[in-house]
């Protein structure tokens, strides 16, 4: 225990020192070593936690047979579809409700009523309405990703700097230019945050939806492997989601940095 605390302390320290590169690999390396040590020592049964090497073997086999790619591609396509739908609706409605008070007054109640319902609770209805394979899943994903996007975009419009509003008033800036040059750029960091959180939600929803129904996708692969007690395959599936999700988030983050150039973000003290 003491060793772990010490290592954690050293890790924190190295981060605080502003180090990147190899320092990022310290914690994963330690965890991996721990994992290997625990499993190699025979402390846990492989069916509960297979060793890293076993997982690697499973990964190689699944990658080779095309099983992994097939399922991942199916999930990926659903995420993209659902997320795209959510992005369009979330940004559109978030902007709309933020800009037009009448729209807000008439629709905010309904939206706030639907928001607390977990997306997965829609599954029975979604299957009835949109079919068991693609439609229902895309619907669930879109629903799950919509709310973080929508909420952030609305907040982004709401927090438009009052000083800039005043400035636009004094200069009699036309409404279109005010929206394009003040409201939208000001909301951009929020929009990007919303999209990133939305994407993470999309991945959660796709797996949840696939766990309960369907014949394809990472979620299906996970339930299937669990039923056959193939714990190593379960872990491969989980890691695959993590890696793909992280990669997509990186793409969005890079995009955000390019678009929101005027902001320097706080990286910790």
Partner 1 sequence: MEDLLHRSIGGDELAIAVQAKTYQGRDGDVAALEGMRLHIGRREFVAIVGASGCGKSTLLRIIAGLDPAYKGTVAVRGRRITGPGLDRGIVFQEPRLLPWLTVAENVAFALPRGSRREKAATVAAHLELVELAGFAKAYPGELSGGMAQRVAIARALVNRPEILLLDEPFGALDALTRLRLQKELLAIWDREKMTMVMVTHDIEEAVYLGDRVVVMSERPGTVRSEFAVNLPRPRSRADAAFVQLREAICRELQADLG
Residue 258 CB, shortest distance to partner 1, in Å, is 13
- Quick one: which of 172, 258, 265, 268 contacts partner 1 (CB under 8 A)? 172
- Quick one: which of 169, 175, 246, 253 contacts partner 1 (CB under 8 A)? 169
Tell whether the torsion through CA atoms of 234, 223, 62 and 248 is positive or negative: negative
Residues 174-233 that bind partner 1 (CB under 8 A): 174, 177, 181-182, 185-186, 188
- Quick one: which of 24, 45, 257, 263 contacts partner 1 (CB under 8 A)? 263
Nearer to partner 1, 115 or 177 (CB): 177
Nearer to partner 1, 106 or 161 (CB): 161
Phi and psi, residue 2, nearest 5° = -60, -40
Q: Does 89 bind partner 1 (CB under 8 A)?
A: no
Q: Say how far apart CA 95 and CA 82 lie, in whole Å.
A: 20
Q: Does 40 bind partner 1 (CB under 8 A)?
A: no
Alpha carbon 233 to its chain's center: 22
Residues that bind partner 1 (CB under 8 A): 163-164, 166-167, 169-174, 177, 181-182, 185-186, 188, 261-264
């Amino acid at each position: 225990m003491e060793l772990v605390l010490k290592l954690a302390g050293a890790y924190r320290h190295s981060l605080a020192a502003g180090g990147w590169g190899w320092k990022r690999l310290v914690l994963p390396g330690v965890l991996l070593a721990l994992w290997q040590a625990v499993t190699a020592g025979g402390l846990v049964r492989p069916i509960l936690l297979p060793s890293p090497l076993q997982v690697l073997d499973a990964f190689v086999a699944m990658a080779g047979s095309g099983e992994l790619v097939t399922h991942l591609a199916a999930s990926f396509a659903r995420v993209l579809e659902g997320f795209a739908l959510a992005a369009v609706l979330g940004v559109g409605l978030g902007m709309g409700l933020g800009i037009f008070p009448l729209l807000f007054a008439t629709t905010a109640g309904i939206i706030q009523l639907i928001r607390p319902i977990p997306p997965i609770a829609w599954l029975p209805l979604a299957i009835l309405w949109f079919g068991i394979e693609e439609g229902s899943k895309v619907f669930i994903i879109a629903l799950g990703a919509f709310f973080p996007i929508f909420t952030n975009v609305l907040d982004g419009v709401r927090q438009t700097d009052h000083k800039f509003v005043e400035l636009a008033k004094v200069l009699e800036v036309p409404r279109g230019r005010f929206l394009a040059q003040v409201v939208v750029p000001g909301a951009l960091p929020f929009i990007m945050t919303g999209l990133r959180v939305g994407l993470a939600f999309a991945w959660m929803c796709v797996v949840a939806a696939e766990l309960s129904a369907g014949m394809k996708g990472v979620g299906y692969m996970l339930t299937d492997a669990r039923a056959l007690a193939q714990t190593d395959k379960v872990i491969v599936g989980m890691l695959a989601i993590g890696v793909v999700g992280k990669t997509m988030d990186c793409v969005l983050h890079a995009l955000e940095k390019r678009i929101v150039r005027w902001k320097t973000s706080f990286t910790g003290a």
